[in-house]
Amino acid sequence: MPDGDTGNVLEVRDLRTVFQTRGGEVHAVNSVSFEVKPGELLGVVGESGSGKSVTMMSLVGLLPSPPAEVREGRVLLAGEDLLRVTPARLREVRGGEVGFIFQDPMTSLNPVFTVGYQIMEPIRRHMGLGKKQARERAVELLELVGIPSARDRLSDYPHQFSGGMRQRVMIAMALACDPKVLIADEPTTALDVTIQAQILEIVADLRARLGMAIVWITHDLGVIAGIADRVLVMYGGQVVEQAPVHPLFNDPRHPYTRALLRTIPTVTGARAEKLEVIEGQPPILGAAPTACPFRDRCPLVFDRCHAENPAREVVAPEHDVACFHPSARSGTGGAS
Ligand SMILES: Nc1ncnc2c1ncn2[C@@H]1O[C@H](COP(=O)(O)OP(=O)(O)O)[C@@H](O)[C@H]1O
Ligand SMILES: [Mg+2]
């Protein structure tokens, strides 16, 4: 089947990103593969440092090189390999077909320009609209993300908005050019719970209305339980499990996913001291892994885990896991 005909909006194959540091090479992304289907919401979870951001930034050339080097892989956007296009084409993709929302809007919004200018600029650049049309589109976008008195607020500067409203402006900017995929990298982590819930609601609503695919990155599995169609679990720069949301929560196979699930507070007011934490530290990334990255924290570790890095294997429809333990394959017993 030719690349363009897979039916996926985005397809990432064997992506490998390495940082050159004084201490040697840091293999931050190790042969990561995944796909994003049209209109779906893909959740990407994993503890801090598991390679989520580096993976997403590698897709569209957002990492400074050096020190970063995307060494291997293919990133197919409707069949076009983004690792092999010109810098000019990549700039066009960023903020065009692929939109980004980051955790801290202040790092993406420029404090010296009005919000209106910052939303209109990419619209004019990518979509070739005139000033007046771009202005109307900016108003429409701000209304879409629920900013009151949108027209009046075009002339305001980022600092004149609250944290939650700035995040909405960021979403409006990311949506400006009708992206096929919107990548949201922990966009609600810095916000309080009520505003987090509002932002999630806006995004879910936008997806339904605009039909774009969303990749929602978080270190908190609880956040995506209610909104994701499919979930990718990352650990130590690798994908360790992938499944549709229901099996991921009800039949998790990787010992790490099982541990992550136990860290979610229950709805019935579990107290903080009752939350289980995963013992041990995430691996310090260095050389390319030759063993299972989770072996030092895994309750099910056995000799093979020290000798080989498990590849992802399909265990159920659309469900794969990278673990040698028989319980990961059969779905019985396990770490619980
Ligand atoms: N500039 C850098 N130089 C060296 N290593 C880096 C750099 N940025 C990220 N890394 C490495 O990549 C790993 C993954 O980082 P990141 O993708 O930001 O994690 P996540 O988003 O999952 O919290 C880090 O643990 C670190 O080892
Ligand atoms: Mg990150």
Give me the average pLDDT of each 10-residue run along the chain (336 residues).
69 97 93 95 93 95 93 95 95 89 76 94 86 94 92 95 89 88 85 78 84 90 87 97 96 94 66 57 82 94 97 96 94 54
**Would the CB of 217 count as within 6 Å of ligand 1?**
no
End-to-end Cα separation, the chain, in angstroms:
41
- Supply the pLDDT for residue 231: 97
Please, which residues have CB within 8 angstroms of residue 128's CB and are 6 or more apart in sequence?
A: none
Residue 271 backbone phi and psi in degrees, to 5: -85, 155
Q: What domains does the chain contain, in order, with CATH numbers?
A: 38-62+91-97+177-266+273-330 (3.40.50.300)
Residue 104 backbone phi and psi in degrees, to 5: -110, 105
Residue 175 token pair = 């949506």
**Would the CB of 24 count as within 6 Å of ligand 1?**
no
Q: How far is the CA of 55 from the centre of ligand 2 (A)?
A: 9
**Would the CB of 50 count as within 6 Å of ligand 1?**
yes
Dist CA 141 CA 316 (whole Å):
41
Residue 148 backbone phi and psi in degrees, to 5: -65, 150
**Cβ neighbour number for residue 49 with a 10 Å cutoff:** 19
The protein residue with its alpha carbon nearest to ligand 1, atom 4, reads: 19
156 close to 115: Cβ distance less than 8 angstroms: yes
Q: How far is the CA of 148 from the centre of ligand 1 (A)?
A: 37
215 forms beta bridges with 42, 183
- Supply the pLDDT for residue 209: 84
291 close to 308: Cβ distance less than 8 angstroms: yes
**Would the CB of 28 count as within 6 Å of ligand 1?**
yes
The protein residue with its alpha carbon nearest to ligand 1, atom 14, reads: 51
193 close to 162: Cβ distance less than 8 angstroms: no
Could you say which DSSP state residue 63 is in? Answer: S
Dist CA 277 CA 195 (whole Å):
26
Residue 174 token pair = 């990311």
Q: Helices 193-210 and 163-175, interaxial angle, to 10°?
A: 20
- Supply the pLDDT for residue 140: 92
- Supply the pLDDT for residue 302: 97
CA atoms within a 13 Å half-sphere pointing along the CA-CB vector of 100: 21
DSSP β-ladder status, 230-235 and 98-101 = unpaired
**Would the CB of 95 count as within 6 Å of ligand 1?**
no
- Supply the pLDDT for residue 267: 53
